[in-house]
A and B are shown apart, each in its own frame.
Chain A
Amino acid sequence: MLEWISPRQLSGLGILGMNARNVSYIARYNERSQYPLVDNKLNTKLVAAEAQLNVPELLHVIHTQHEIGRAREVLTQHDEFVVKPAQGSGGKGILVIVGRDGDELIKSNGERITDTALSRYLSNVIAGLHSLGGRADVALVEQLVRVSDDFSDYSVEGVPDIRLIVFLGYPVMGMLRLATKASDGKANLHQGAVGVGIDIATGKALSAVQHNRVIDRHPDTGALLSEISIPNWRRLLEQAARCFEVTELGYLGTDMVIDRDRGPMLLELNARPGLAIQVANQCGLKPRLRHVEGLGNRFGRDRRGPDARVSYAMEHFGMSASSAQPSLFPPEINQLLNP
């Protein structure tokens, strides 16, 4: 049967609900005019590269149907690449090619597709099949991200990615998303991917959920999830924190991956990040968000740079520190206590 939790308990735990997220955070801190920066991956990539954030290299962009022929020529130079629609959401329409076999391309799940199937796929992407509202789109061809060895026990298909909620430039909560067979290789929690809450202070796993239920081991590989520790954690947090300056979006979700050779990379940004991260962390977002709100108003008084913000976040939002629920006091009082 369905299990219930009372609203009072939820609010006692500081769980952020969908309505509160939309009204009190997204509508208040995210300027509408900045959305195209994150809704279009091509824009994201360009501004991120300009700000010298680490992103997967852009190999080619296909704008119109008649460029597909030329694109196929360009692609013959690459054996592995990723094609994605610039305006796709939730991982829709992403094609990962990991190798070649004669004329055929090998997808990440082992299936093969022909050259003509690739053209058809590109044509669909440009026609807007995978895009919000079916708008005409652009296909991006990117360098393939290689799974870091640290995650080899935890990835079935696709690269595990790390979602961070960056609030006013502070990384407040993090989650590692692992695709499973149940999720069909997609890192989407409601499709059955595993979400692992990550301690902001250390980059180590806190707790893990699949289908809203707490689990210990990866459902496919059986690897113990509590042993996950993300390498280069601080560098990753810094990259994420810098996205605030790049996008000026106050309430931001950053999706990062760790490439075997090139370290943490920014994959995409999200102006409406979901709430599942709270379930993965078994912890509510509200106290941390209030804490950050107490540090300074909007884009005003809080002048910390990305490095300082990361230090602050690691100090205050870690689970290992006793400040698991940092806002036992209202933020103003907290500020007085920790100037």
Chain B
Amino acid sequence: MNRLGPFAIVVGILMIAGIGLATYRVTEYHVPLLPGAQQLLWQVEARIEFRANGGPAMARLNLPPEQDGFRIVGETSASAGYGYAIEALAEGRRARWSTRSATGNQTLFFKLDLAADETYEVEQVPPPLPQPPPLEEPYQTAVSQLISAAEPRSADGFTLAHELSSSLAAGDQNATLLLDQYSPSDVLVTALVQAGVPARTVQVLRLEDGRRRQSAVEQVQVWDDGWRLFDALSGPVNNVSNLFVLRSALPSLLEVEGGDNSRVNFSIVEETRSSLSLMENGGGEDFFLSLYDLPIAEQGMFKLIMLLPIGALVVVFMRLLVGLKTSGTFMPVLIALAFLQTELIPGLISFLVVVGVGLIIRGYLSALNLLLVARIAALIVVVIALISAFSVITYRMGLIGGLTITFFPMIILAWTIERMSIIWEEEGPKEVMLQGGGSLLVAVLAFLVMDLNIVRHLAFSFPELHLVVLGLILLLGRYTGYRISELTRFASFR
């Protein structure tokens, strides 16, 4: 152990530097050490149903605008057999589904992830005042009378709207006449616009956990240095924290061409998710060496890359301390990385299916007596064919999760199959189970560790902690004690 001195110093420096830098980051920059406060996340799923006429069909759903209090953190669509695109128009964004021919009942899904965030504000510009044509008589007179009754009692657009909605709710002669013909919101908007106050009807969704098949409610937005929400009959809506405005400028929420009986309803699920909302919003610039400085796309990549050392540490631990056999030293880490994107169970199943079928086909390839390079190349083609087939079949069966199999590193899969098959031929199926099982076990363990919220957070927000990981790996590299597996291997000495 003559070189232990300098070695211990190096490891010590690494550990101290890592922990020191992390401490500095916590105290000076207030980077949260833990994954952070729990944040409320609403998952709103729009379910669009219509009956297709047999020809080309197209459905357009207005996407909600950015609004105060909610950050849109995710938009996904699931619609087998439909082309899907997002149209960006001046008035707002629309999701568009299209297909060449569709018959019968059609169902399309659109899912929104909304992070509730009270500090989130969207800059709002005053809208141009629309010039609506006057209503038919006698309704125009009724509206004019409503306005002239309410106007003297109001100071601005907001109070005018308040007065108007009270008179609608009170149900005097003019109001009753108008409400017979028009919806309360339409009456309110018409009256406000004619009085020179920008207003519009909107669809509002009430966010409540576990609500299914909920429809949007029509309400009114009135401009008063920012849009204020009104219910046409009950007046201003004050608690907007769980109200989500679905559309504003575009004519209608859902448009369907080539079909009828269309409707859209919403399911809502509440979720608490931890996030680094604090950090993502403020203080990003004065960080030293922070991965948060990177563009979002690169951040996503680094979130995975920064987990690799953790996986490597797990492998080192399992091999040196426990003594598990794995096929290919760091193959388990790559598999674990794939699991991170596929989720554990679908990932395990698809991995086993591809490797299993691959082994069978490899058995045939070995009968062909190919040269090694050609055989591996052939296996790569086979693996890609298997993955495509697997994806198509699971997609047809409606299991979208099957698509994530493409996250598996294909060359690695091909090599795994080749190696397993050679082990099978030379050392028998028992050894295959031992090494394959060992690899999978290590991969699952690495996945479980890498999937921990706190590990993900620390690895990404505190890159310097990887110095500590490095120190640990170095320490394990000098471990000369027994492995746990050796305690059984040498049991005959007892």
Instruction: Please list the residues of chain A having a beta carbon within 8 angstroms of any beta carbon in chain B.
Output: 2-7, 9-11, 13, 15, 17-20, 23-24, 92, 120, 123-124, 127-129, 134, 191, 209, 212-214, 278-279, 282
Q: Which residue from B323, B369, B493 sits with its C-beta under 8 Å from A9?
A: B493
Knowing A10-B486, A128-B372 are in contact, say whether A24-B492 is a contact too (CB < 8 A): no
Q: Are A19 and B483 in contact (CB under 8 A)?
A: yes
For the residues of B in contact with A, the DSSP-based class is helix
User: How near does chain B come to A5, taking the closest CB pair, in angstroms?
Assistant: 5
A279 touches B492 (CB 8 A): yes
Q: Is the CB of A282 within 8 A of B492?
A: yes
Residues of A within 8 Å of B492, CB to CB, are 3, 209, 212-214, 279, 282
User: For the side of the interface on B, what is the size category?
Assistant: 20 to 34
24 chain-A/chain-B pairs, Cβ below 8 angstroms: A2-B488, A3-B491, A3-B492, A5-B487, A5-B490, A5-B491, A5-B494, A7-B482, A9-B494, A10-B493, A11-B482, A17-B481, A17-B482, A17-B486, A18-B483, A19-B320, A19-B480, A19-B481, A23-B478, A24-B480, A127-B373, A128-B372, A212-B489, A278-B490
Cβ contact within 8 Å between B426 and A20: no
Bound Cα distance A265, B479 (Å): 37
Interface string of B187-226 (1 = CB under 8 A from A): 0000000000000000000000000000000000000000
> Shortest distance in angstroms between B456's beta carbon and chain A's nearest beta carbon?
30
**Across the interface, do A17 and B480 meet the contact criterion of CB distance under 8 Å?**
yes
Docked complex Cα distance between A9 and B480 (Å)? 16
Are A212 and B491 in contact, CB atoms less than 8 angstroms apart? yes
B482 to chain A, nearest CB (A): 4
> Once the chains are docked, how many angstroms separate the CA of A191 from the CA of B478?
30
Q: Is the CB of A7 within 8 A of B493?
A: no
Q: Which residues of A contact B482 (CB under 8 A)?
A: 7, 10-11, 15, 17, 19-20
- Chain A residue numbers with a CB within 8 Å of B480 are 17, 19-20, 23-24
B427 at the interface (CB under 8 A from A): yes
Please give the distance in Å from A206's CB to the nearest CB on chain B.
14
> Would you call A15 and B487 a contact (CB within 8 A)?
no
**Cα separation A302 to B14 with both chains bound (whole Å):** 39
B residues in contact with A92, CB < 8 Å: 426
A207 CB, min distance to chain B CBs, angstroms: 10
Considering the chains assembled together, what is the distance between the CA atoms of A123 and B374 in angstroms?
13
What B residues does A214 contact at CB under 8 A?
Answer: 492
A13–chain B nearest beta-carbon distance, Å: 6
- Collect the chain B residues with CB atoms within 8 Å of residue A20's CB: 480-482
Interface residues in B464-494 by Cβ distance below 8 A to A read 477-483, 486-494
Whether B89 is near chain A, meaning CB under 8 Å from some CB there, is no
Nearest B residue to A2 via CB reads B488
Q: Assess A120 versus B478: contact at CB under 8 Å? Given A6-B487, A278-B490.
A: no
* Contact of B371 (CB < 8 Å), options: A24, A123, A278: A123
Cβ–Cβ < 8 Å partners of A18 in chain B: 323, 483, 486
Per the bound structure, the CA–CA distance linking A71 and B207 in Å amounts to: 81
Q: Is the CB of A127 within 8 A of B488?
A: no
A19→B482 CA distance, assembly (Å): 7
Residues of A within 8 A of B422 (CB): 129
**For residue A209, which residues in chain B have a CB less than 8 angstroms away from its CB?**
492
Which among B427, B493, B494 has the greatest number of chain A C-beta atoms within 10 A? B493
The closest CB in chain B to the CB of A120 belongs to: B369
Q: Is the CB of A19 within 8 A of B479?
A: yes
| Residue contact B372 to A4, C-beta cutoff 8 Å | no
CB distance from A182 to the nearest CB of B (A): 11
* B residues less than 8 Å from A134 (CB atoms): 372, 376
Residues of B within 8 A of A124 (CB): 369, 371-372
Q: A17 to B479, alpha carbons, bound, how many Å?
A: 11
* Sample of 16 more A-B contacts, CB < 8 Å, known A23-B480, A127-B373: A3-B488, A5-B487, A5-B488, A6-B487, A11-B482, A15-B482, A15-B493, A18-B486, A19-B479, A20-B481, A23-B477, A23-B479, A127-B372, A129-B372, A212-B491, A212-B492
